[in-house]
Amino acid sequence: MNRRRCVNAAITVVCALTVLASPALTLQASAAPAAPKAVPAAPAAPAAPLPPTAPKKTLEEVRKEIDGLYRKAAAATDAYNLAEEQTEEQSAEIVRLAKMIVAGREKIDALKSQAGAAARAQYRNGGLPEGAQFVLTDDPQLFLDNAGRLKEGQKATKDLLAEMTNTQAQLTVYAKDAGTNWTKLEANRVKQATAKKDIEEKIAAAKKLESELAAEERERLRRLEEQEQYRAQTAWLDTGVLKGLSDTATPQGKRAVEFATAQIGKPYVWGAEGPDSYDCSGLTQRAWGKAGRNIPRTSQEQWRLLPRVDIKDMRPGDLIVYYQDASHIGMYVGNGAMVHAPRPGRNVTLAGAGSMEILGVVRPE
């Protein structure tokens, strides 16, 4: 009995120790289990340093960035305008070739009809041409009279076959040219789409920069633009460039100047050729078109293809090309001034002819 009590007591102690040593067990008793001993927290890792805040751009830096974006947009506009002009040319050429192909096929059909009529006549005559029937006659006089007709008939048949062969060869060339022009047309459409995307991105970026400025800063930005143009114009005039320059335009040049200045106040829109809005080369092209002289569409092509003159010989109506990439152009109107369509967000206006970096001068006349 004592042994049994000792065993029972030992089991009770073991169970109690087991319960106390197992914090994961849930006790059904009303008393809450003792809280586990707190473990000291590991020392916190040092916080990563924040990236340095970019210094705020000065207004002059913003002005230069905006000006650069609009310059790039102007260059892309030239690429767009050139691709558009080439697309129109290729489209017109494809239409012209298509008409020639239709006319050629109609001619082939007519020649085939002639050849068929000759073949049917020969069949009716027993396989001999009509002229040969006369040649084979027993009448000597009739033979002599119609020998020439046989020769003429042979020549006519030979000419008919040659004409058919030549017309068919022309049709092959027209079809090949049409295919080539179609390939060029599609390539120009891709160029247009790429240039358009580039233009819109650059203009959107420039407008975003401006929109982030407060109203007072935007006004200061406008004054900075004017000051930069005034500084450049003053430096240009200080070279004495106006000495000896003629302010007399030719009759054709005068008409071009009158048209261009009449557009003052109309908005710049890239790719526009009037009458309600213009880009820079659209204005100069339209003005000289009104004066009776067709000139290329883009400022780069106007610079490349029109006759160049020395700036000391410049006269009203001449075109001043700006920047090393020929991405901007204006028309000299005399007295050191020019008229131009500046950029998106601006209107056609008068400005100092030397207010931007001059590449050279061309004369459409």
pLDDT string in tens for the chain (365-residue length): 433 343 343 333 333 333 333 333 332 333 444 444 544 555 555 555 655 555 678 888 998 999 999 999 999 999 999 999 888 888 888 898 888 888 888 887 887 777 777 666 655 655 555 555 555 555 565 555 555 555 555 666 677 778 778 888 888 888 888 888 889 888 988 988 999 999 999 999 999 998 898 999 989 998 999 999 999 999 999 999 999 888 899 999 999 999 999 999 999 999 999 999 999 999 999 999 999 999 999 999 999 999 999 999 999 999 999 999 999 999 999 999 999 999 999 999 999 999 999 999 999 99
What tokens does 67 get?
């000006």
Distance CA 226, CA 356 (A): 11
pLDDT at 129: 54
* Per-residue three-class SS string for the chain: CHHHHHHHHHHHHHHHHHHHCCCCCCCCCCCCCCCCCCCCCCCCCCCCCCCCCCCCCCHHHHHHHHHHHHHHHHHHHHHHHHHHHHHHHHHHHHHHHHHHHHHHHHHHHHHHHHHHHHHHHHHHCCCCCHHHHHHCCCCHHHHHHHHHHHHHHHHHHHHHHHHHHHHHHHHHHHHHHHHHHHHHHHHHHHHHHHHHHHHHHHHHHHHHHHHCCCHHHHHHHHHHHHHHHHHHHHHHHCCCCCCCCCCCCCHHHHHHHHHHHHCCCCEECCCCECCCCECHHHHHHHHHHHCCCCCCCCHHHHHHHCCEECHHHCCCCCEEEECCCCCEEEEEEECCEEEECCCCCCECEEEECCCCCEEEEECCC
What pLDDT was estimated at residue 281? 97
Taking the model in full, what pTM does it have? Answer: 0.68
Query: pLDDT digit string (tens) for 114-154?
Result: 777 766 665 565 555 555 555 555 556 555 555 555 555 56
Q: Phi and psi at residue 209, in whole multiples of 5°? A: -60, -45
Token reading at 190: 């891709």
pLDDT of 50 reads 52
Residues annotated as part of the active site:
280, 328, 340
pLDDT the model gives residue 3: 36
Contact by Cβ (8 Å): 271, 281: no
Residue 165 one-letter amino acid: T
Per-residue pLDDT, 21: 35
Mean pLDDT, the chain, rounded, equals 81
Residue pair 150/141 in contact (Cβ under 8 Å)? The answer is no
